[in-house]
Structure 1
């Protein structure tokens, strides 16, 4: 009988034992967080009062922007009367220029709020440091507007029963009793797109000016504002539509005053609807 070697544990090729699983814990944010402020139905009227106060505080600057809005309305009216097929293209151009004009009014309100003197030159150039975010947001708005226009053409083609109207009898043709189905569908589709555009833009542009944020974050925050206060923001949207309708009823001249009023009031809508809270990880 031969001597037997003592038992030894079998060699292992597995290497060292793996470390225990550790779940990923994201770092604490140091970016201020947007907090939605509860709003009441009286708040939009307060924004209009504050907007009028800003207008009266810098009337020369406000009238400059008001005339710009009026000229845009005149161009749209002339194109509609003479070359209606180009209305959507001109409207897209106005949608490109309009937010930059509105940002100038926001800058006036921002400077007054900070105790600084409003300046026309500063309001005209305030967008230059936010051009990337503004450009992206305006691009999104233009895409939505073009989709809206395409959807309108489809609704016309499917539901309009009395032939495409001329520019002289468009209202009579549209509200012909034979086209009631068209009117209902057109209002429903237009309402969806209008709500989408409104929700995306209602506070996003003043937020870009105030916080120098990116377009996506601004648009998401704007949509959050609408969902957090749906009745108040719908009431605010109705007031905006009503005032624009009044301006149009005066052959566009009303935009000289209503344009600056709504611009300044929109800044106060943003300031009243969004409160910024420092993150726990901030220094």
Structure 2
């Protein structure tokens, strides 16, 4: 049985120009146009989750922060069905609701294990963030407005800057571990740690391109969430489809058996 390093070594990476994120986003938009139903369903469920969360935890900042962080980290797992839609469209196969339902079934232990790891990473970030803010904020932070007033708009100190730096330090390895892992696991018969190694190789070998792609994902997600989360039903599926095309563009996994 091959080790994770040996499996990852069978996967080759393709160097792409810095303009490729625009190509991936356009391809994601085309997939959404060709098959809007699954994307709208995922986006609507994401909006509903966010709306209920805002209503129920508006005055519980750490619950709100934890739930949103967990959602953003686990969202790529939830969007597995949209990767499957893009894969089927690329292969010229018909796309129906059966494909979506089958993608949601818990029959892929590697994807389930990776989703659990992402959830644990989100929990770790919230606990670390809460410890930093609790230790250094001039007063207790119990609501989003407290956070804005006491941390973001604080006239002196370095707490907000430290919070942003901590977030970047913790988010970078999570992004490197996940940016290509999920579509690779969906597409090929490869082990979890081998897929993570491929994702890390891509970030290390193409740091500027992947940093640009991360900025696009974060910026568009923030844009979708800004007006009462109203952009989620459209932008979330476009980003999911675009992530599939990023994987296809960057990874040559032809030496690894394909999943049916």
* Same fold flag (TM > 0.5): yes
Q: Does 1:42 align with 2:19?
A: yes
Change over 3 Å in CA distance of 1:31–1:222 after alignment to 2: closer
CA apart distance, 1:207: 0.6
Alpha-carbon distance in structure 1 between the residues aligned to 2:69 and 2:241: 23
Q: CA RMSD in A?
A: 2.5
Q: How many residues were matched structurally?
A: 252
**CA-to-partner distance for each residue in 1:58-107, whole Å, 9 max, x for gaps?**
01222112212212222332243044343355347636863343110000
Q: Does 1:143 align with 2:120?
A: yes
Q: Which one of 210, 221, 224 corresponds to residue 247 of structure 1?
A: 224
Q: Does 1:108 align with 2:85?
A: yes
Q: Which residue of 2 aligns with 1:7?
A: none
CA apart distance, 1:115: 0.5
Q: Which residue of 1 aligns with 2:183?
A: 206
Q: Which residue of 2 aligns with 1:194?
A: 171
Alpha-carbon distance in structure 2 between the residues aligned to 1:213 and 1:103: 16
Q: Which runs of 5+ in 2 are unaligned?
A: none
Q: Does 1:263 align with 2:240?
A: yes
CA apart distance, 1:178: 4.2
**Residues 85 and 100 in structure 2, CA contact (< 8 A), matched pair in contact too:** yes
Alpha-carbon distance in structure 1 between the residues aligned to 2:152 and 2:194: 41
More helix by share: 2
Q: Which moved more, 1:87-96 or 1:240-249?
A: 87-96
CA apart distance, 1:274: 0.8
Q: For residues 147-158 of structure 1, what are the structure 2 equivalents within 5 Å?
A: 147-158=124-135
Q: Does 1:236 align with 2:213?
A: yes
Q: Which one of 114, 118, 132 corresponds to residue 109 of structure 2?
A: 132
Q: Does 1:80 align with 2:54?
A: no
Larger Rg belongs to:
1
Q: Does 1:69 align with 2:46?
A: yes
Change over 3 Å in CA distance of 1:99–1:212 after alignment to 2: farther
TM-score normalized by the length of structure 1: 0.80
- Give the SS at the match of 2:92: coil
Q: Which runs of 5+ in 1 are unaligned?
A: 1-25
Q: Which residue of 2 aligns with 1:52?
A: 29
Q: Which moved more, 1:37-46 or 1:70-79?
A: 70-79
TM-score normalized by the length of structure 2: 0.87
Over 4 Å off, 4+ runs: 29-32
